[in-house]
């Protein structure tokens, strides 16, 4: 075999990698996640931050504290050290909203669905075991009947009783 026949080309390997299902699923998840993050950020900045501003003194993004005085702009540079805790809180709210939506709309329903699928699979296995047990019992009955017939034939010609008749082995009488 030549060396070219042994190894796929770099382009073929890359194409095979891209065509795997999990890579495509991951790409779709990243695109949807980015779009969803934009929606959540818009809700936080457009609804939650102004609501905080309505109850507070300013928009949530504008809350800050001065660590080292004076916190004033001098010649385009900040004089002092500011802590922008309002923007941190806003980002934290964005994360919590995103996490809650992902959990309640994606993770929780999927875990419930997978639990139902597992229950059905276990129930199906249980049914198969019951069927196997009943087949085993039927086979035991057939075996017992055959043993009884052989025993009846061993008594001599014409002296045995028919299976299931009174006095035959395996009958209740």
Cα separations (Å) of 144 from 138, 149, 155, 167?
A: 10, 9, 17, 15
In percent, the amount of the chain with pLDDT more than 70 equals: 83
- Structure tokens of 11? 């382009």
pLDDT tens-digit series, residues 72-101? 777 777 777 888 888 898 888 888 888 888
Q: What H or E segment, with its residue span, contains residue 77? A: strand 77-83
Q: Do residues 48 and 60 lie in contact, with contact meaning Cβ atoms separated by under 8 Å?
A: yes
Which of 65-69, 116-120, 155-159 holds the top average pLDDT?
Answer: 116-120
d(CA 105, CA 132): 41
Q: Name the pLDDT band for 39 (thresholds 50, 70, 90).
A: confident
The full length of the chain comes to 173
pLDDT tens-digit series, residues 125-142? 777 777 766 777 888 889
């Amino acid at each position: 075999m030549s060396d070219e026949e042994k190894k796929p080309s770099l382009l073929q390997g890359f194409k095979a990698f891209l065509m795997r299902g999990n890579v495509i699923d991951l790409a779709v998840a990243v695109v949807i996640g980015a779009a969803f993050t934009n929606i959540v950020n818009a809700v936080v900045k457009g609804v939650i931050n102004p609501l905080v501003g309505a109850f507070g003194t300013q928009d949530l993004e504008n809350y800050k504290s001065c660590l080292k005085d004076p916190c004033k702009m001098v010649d385009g540079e900040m004089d002092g050290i500011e802590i922008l805790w309002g923007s941190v809180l806003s980002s934290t709210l964005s994360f919590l909203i995103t996490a809650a939506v992902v959990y309640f709309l994606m993770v929780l329903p999927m875990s419930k669905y997978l639990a139902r699928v597992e229950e059905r699979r276990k129930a199906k296995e249980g049914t198969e075991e019951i069927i196997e047990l009943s087949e085993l019992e039927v086979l035991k009955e057939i075996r017992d009947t055959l043993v009884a017939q052989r025993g009846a034939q061993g008594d001599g010609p014409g002296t045995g009783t028919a299976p299931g008749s009174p006095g035959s082995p395996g009958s209740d009488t």
